[in-house]
C-alpha cells in the first residue's frame, strides 16, 4: 500500500510546478503517487507534465473549476472518498505547485502522523523565499471575534497578543510544535480515515477557506490537527493567485461562506449585521450578490 497520494492543483505556474515535481522526486524512503490537476492553464503546464513527467498522472481541465473541486478530482483518482474503502494510500497530501520539498520532508511528515493516530491532519513549517515564516501555515478558525480583530487591523497591530494575534497564532514561537485549528492547503497532510469520516473539500469555495473548512470538519469528526516545525518547506506563496483579479474578492467570499456554514446559527443578530457590513465593505461589489444570494454548500 502506498504511503502518500499527492494532489497538486496548478494554474499557470509551469516553471514552479516543474521545480516542485523535481523536489518530490528527491524524496527518500516513502512511497507515493502524484496527480497534477491543471485548471486550464495557458502557459503550457499540462504539456510540460506530459513531456517531462510521464509517470505523473495528469488531469487537464478545460475550464478553471477552482481549487477545492480540482483537488477533489485528484483525491478521487487516488481512491479517497467519504465512507470509502481502505484501498487508497494511507495519507493524502494537498500540495501547492509553488512549494519546494527537502528530500526528507515527506518521510518525516508521514512518520510524524504514524507516531500519533489521533492526528487527522498536519502541516510543516512553511517559509517564504526570503526565509520568513508563511503565517498561514498555522491558524485559528476565523470566528466572528477573530475575524473582527483581523479586519480592523488589531491582529497586525498587536501580533504578540494572545487575544488579538490568534488569526495566525503570531504570539507563538514558530519553532514549537503545537495543536492548531488548521494548517494551510499549500501542504496539508490528511489521514485516509479522517477523509472517510469528514469527506472531501467543500466545492462551494473557489479558492481560499476550503482548507479551513476541511480542518474544521476533520476536528468535528474527532481528530486533532498539528503543526510540525521540525519539517521546513519553502513556499513561494500566491504565485498563481497574484495573477487573478478574482483572488481578493474570493478571499472575502470564502470568509462569508465559512461564517455562514459554521457560525451564523450561534451569532446574535447585532453581531451578524456588523459582520455582513464589514464583509460588504472589504469585499466590495463582487461580494454583494453573494451576500443576498448565498451559494449552497456542497457536501462531498
Task: Give a yes or no: residue 300 inside a domain.
Answer: no
pLDDT value for 166: 94
pLDDT value for 238: 67
Instruction: Give the range among 36-40, 83-87, 139-143 with minimum mean pLDDT.
Output: 83-87
Task: Give a yes or no: residue 298 inside a domain.
Answer: no
Q: Where are the beta strands (DSSP E) in 89-213?
A: 91-95, 99-100, 119-127, 178-179, 187-191
Q: Are residues 156 and 273 in the same domain?
A: no
Task: Give a yes or no: residue 84 inside a domain.
Answer: yes
**92 DSSP β-pair partners:** 5, 190
Domain range for 234? 4-139+180-240
Task: Give a yes or no: residue 13 inside a domain.
Answer: yes
SS3 (DSSP) at 151:
helix
Q: Are residues 19 and 166 in the same domain?
A: no
Q: Are residues 194 and 285 in the same domain?
A: no
Q: Are residues 15 and 154 in the same domain?
A: no
**128 DSSP β-pair partners:** none
Q: Quote the number of domains for the chain.
A: 3
Residue 168: CB atoms within 10 A of its CB come to 20
Upper half-sphere CA count for residue 274 (Cβ side, 13 Å): 12
Q: How far apart (Å, rounded) are the C-alpha atoms in residues 132 and 7?
A: 26
Q: pTM for this structure?
A: 0.92
Q: Are residues 105 and 20 in the same domain?
A: yes
Q: Are residues 28 and 146 in the same domain?
A: no
Angle between helices 144-151 and 246-262 (to 10 degrees): 150
Q: Are residues 75 and 189 in the same domain?
A: yes
Task: Give tens-digit pLDDT for 163-220.
Answer: 999 999 999 999 999 999 999 999 999 999 999 999 999 999 998 999 999 999 999 9
Task: Give a yes or no: residue 187 inside a domain.
Answer: yes
Task: Give a yes or no: residue 116 inside a domain.
Answer: yes
Q: Are residues 149 and 286 in the same domain?
A: no
User: In sequence order, what are the residues at sequence separation of 6 or more whose Cβ sits closer than 8 angstroms to the Cβ of residue 71?
Assistant: 7, 9, 37, 94, 185, 200, 201, 210
- Which CATH number covers residue 232? 3.90.550.10
Q: Are residues 205 and 260 in the same domain?
A: no
Q: Are residues 164 and 215 in the same domain?
A: no
Q: How far apart (Å, rounded) are the C-alpha atoms in residues 250 and 38?
A: 19
Q: Are residues 232 and 250 in the same domain?
A: no
Task: Give a yes or no: residue 17 inside a domain.
Answer: yes
| pLDDT at residue 154 is higher than 70 | yes
User: In angstroms, what CA-CA distances link 219 with 170, 184, 186, 187?
Assistant: 22, 15, 19, 18
Task: Give a yes or no: residue 175 inside a domain.
Answer: no
Amino acid at each position: 500500500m502506498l504511503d502518500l497520494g499527492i494532489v497538486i492543483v496548478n494554474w499557470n505556474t509551469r516553471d514552479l510546478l516543474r521545480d516542485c515535481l523535481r523536489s518530490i522526486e528527491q524524496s527518500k524512503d516513502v512511497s507515493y503517487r502524484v496527480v497534477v490537476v491543471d485548471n486550464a492553464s495557458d502557459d503550457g503546464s499540462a504539456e510540460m507534465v506530459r513531456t517531462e513527467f510521464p509517470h505523473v498522472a495528469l488531469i487537464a481541465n478545460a475550464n478553471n473549476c477552482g481549487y477545492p473541486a480540482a483537488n477533489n478530482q485528484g483525491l478521487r483518482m487516488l481512491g479517497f472518498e467519504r465512507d470509502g474503502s481502505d484501498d487508497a494510500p494511507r495519507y493524502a497530501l494537498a500540495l501547492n505547485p509553488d512549494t519546494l520539498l527537502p528530500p526528507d520532508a515527506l518521510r518525516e511528515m508521514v512518520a510524524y502522523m504514524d507516531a500519533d493516530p489521533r492526528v487527522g491532519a498536519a502541516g510543516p513549517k512553511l517559509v517564504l523565499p526570503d526565509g520568513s515564516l508563511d503565517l498561514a501555515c498555522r491558524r485559528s478558525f476565523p470566528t466572528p471575534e477573530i475575524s473582527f480583530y483581523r479586519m480592523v487591523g488589531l491582529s497586525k497591530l498587536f501580533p504578540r497578543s494572545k487575544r488579538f494575534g490568534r488569526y495566525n497564532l503570531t504570539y507563538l514561537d514558530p519553532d514549537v510544535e503545537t495543536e492548531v485549528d488548521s494548517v494551510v492547503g499549500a501542504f496539508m497532510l490528511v489521514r485516509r480515515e479522517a477523509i472517510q469520516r469528514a469527506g472531501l473539500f467543500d466545492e462551494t469555495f473557489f479558492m481560499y477557506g476550503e482548507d479551513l473548512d476541511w480542518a474544521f470538519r476533520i476536528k468535528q469528526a474527532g481528530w486533532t490537527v498539528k503543526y510540525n516545525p521540525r519539517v521546513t518547506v519553502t513556499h513561494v506563496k500566491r504565485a498563481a493567485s497574484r495573477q487573478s483579479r478574482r483572488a481578493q474578492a474570493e478571499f472575502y467570499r470564502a470568509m462569508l461562506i465559512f461564517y455562514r456554514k459554521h457560525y451564523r446559527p450561534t451569532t446574535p443578530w447585532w453581531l451578524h449585521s456588523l459582520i455582513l457590513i464589514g464583509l460588504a465593505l472589504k469585499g466590495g461589489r463582487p461580494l454583494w450578490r453573494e451576500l443576498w444570494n448565498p451559494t449552497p454548500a456542497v457536501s462531498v
